[in-house]
Amino acid sequence: MIKKLFEWLLSPMGRVAVLIGALSVFSLAAYGIYTTQQPPEQPIAFRHDIHVNLGVQCLYCHPGALRGASPGLPTQNKCWGCHQQIAKTNTSPRLAVLKDYVQNNKPVQWVPVAQVPDFVHFKHRPHIAAGLNCETCHGDMSKVEIAENPQVMNMGWCLNCHRDRTADNVQNNPDNDPGVSALLHEKRTKLTDCGTCHY
Ligand code: HEC
Ligand code: HEC
Ligand code: HEC
Ligand code: HEC
Ligand code: HEC
């Protein structure tokens, strides 16, 4: 069904429809950018800046970015590993909330911020393997109080980077090697193919 839809979208009629669709989505997108940049109300006012500046690694709390299907968000027990000690001296009301979750064994329902729609396939692993940093896509989390999406993760954003990284230019192919050229061309075809991100 989805496959048929994408085939149709590639036909001349489909392209016109996409153009009209794009124009009408434009004003909605402007509103979307505004709303997605407002940080949501989280169950616990967790601050990245405090924890990242303490030297806690991203992968300690989001280990799935390297291994699993998705980075994952930490459970209250992971937090409690450190906060059980801290709670004895720090009586901040924000920590009282955490204690309540732990004592009642209630899972914390974090509100997702960075998200792409279901019909888009994104995996962290190949991106990390290609040498990209968390910061490239998520911004500098050591300056973030309550997480918000630093940039809109839309199709243009994905495609721009895929094109940049596969362009046959001095940056990607400094020696102008024909072998590298062919490889870049092959990668570009794959990384800009509809079926790579939608299937
Ligand atoms: C590696 C240890 C560690 C982990 C894991 C950790 N924290 Fe913290 N957290 C700290 C330290 C240290 C502070 C600073 C404490 C202080 O200033 O007294 C802190 C501060 C905080 C504060 C601010 C408290 C205030 O003064 O307002 C909150 C809220 C908080 N953490 C929540 C969490 C939550 C929720 C998690 C799990 C997602 C978590 N922490 C995981 C070590 C940790
Ligand atoms: C102590 C645990 C902890 C550490 C360390 C940590 N995070 Fe997080 N992160 C969380 C929690 C809890 C949430 C969910 C609440 C929120 O969105 O603020 C989260 C949410 C996020 C989100 C938004 C996720 C979503 O659902 O949309 C991103 C992106 C993120 N973290 C990236 C990072 C990066 C990059 C680093 C390292 C620079 C990092 N985190 C370090 C605990 C942590
Ligand atoms: C190439 C860009 C890119 C890089 C690099 C990247 N991310 Fe993400 N991240 C995304 C996108 C896109 C999403 C939304 C994925 C989705 O909705 O399935 C996301 C979602 C997340 C989430 C929320 C997903 C969840 O499991 O709830 C966390 C947490 C996160 N990233 C952490 C990290 C960490 C930690 C790193 C570095 C190890 C990292 N990301 C590197 C693009 C990136
Ligand atoms: C900052 C750059 C950057 C951004 C942003 C980015 N990508 Fe990528 N993407 C890459 C690189 C680099 C590779 C690996 C290319 C290679 O094979 O060497 C890759 C590979 C992929 C692959 C192929 C993985 C495989 O199995 O070979 C998919 C699928 C993908 N990206 C989807 C996305 C989607 C969807 C988005 C947007 C939500 C996105 N990417 C955003 C740089 C990026
Ligand atoms: C590198 C990954 C990537 C590739 C390649 C890609 N898309 Fe997308 N596409 C996305 C993402 C991410 C979204 C979600 C956009 C958003 O949330 O604004 C999307 C959304 C869409 C939508 C929904 C309309 C909308 O704006 O929300 C359509 C239709 C679509 N893509 C068609 C295509 C077609 C046709 C191709 C091939 C010419 C293609 N895509 C190639 C990542 C990709």
Q: How far is the CA of 46 from the centre of ligand 3 (A)?
A: 18
> Is the residue at 29 inside a domain?
yes
pLDDT tens for residues 26-70? 444 544 444 455 667 889 989 999 999 999 999 999 999 988 888
What pTM was estimated for this model as a whole? 0.88
> Is the residue at 123 inside a domain?
no
Q: Does ligand 2 have an atom closer than 6 angstroms to the CB of 153?
A: no
> Is the residue at 189 inside a domain?
yes
> Is the residue at 162 inside a domain?
yes
CB atoms within 10 A of CB 30: 9
Categorize the per-residue pLDDT at 93 as very low, low, confident or very high, splitting at 50, 70 and 90: confident
> Is the residue at 89 inside a domain?
no
Residue 81 pLDDT exceeds 70: yes
Q: Does ligand 5 have an atom closer than 6 angstroms to the CB of 114?
A: no
> Is the residue at 138 inside a domain?
no
Number of domains making up the chain: 2
pLDDT for 30 equals 46
> Is the residue at 101 inside a domain?
no
For the chain, the average pLDDT equals 83
Mutate to test the pocket of ligand 1, among 44, 46, 47, 50 (most ligand atoms within 8 A of CB): 50
State residue 197 phi and psi, 5-degree precision: -105, -20
pLDDT for 126 equals 94
> Is the residue at 17 inside a domain?
yes
Q: Does ligand 4 have an atom closer than 6 angstroms to the CB of 125?
A: no
Domain that holds residue 15: 1-36
Q: Does ligand 5 have an atom closer than 6 angstroms to the CB of 173?
A: no
Neighbouring residues of 194: CB distance < 8 A, sequence distance ≥ 6: 6, 9, 10
Contact 111, 40 (CB under 8 A): yes
- Would you give the end-to-end CA distance of the chain in angstroms? 10
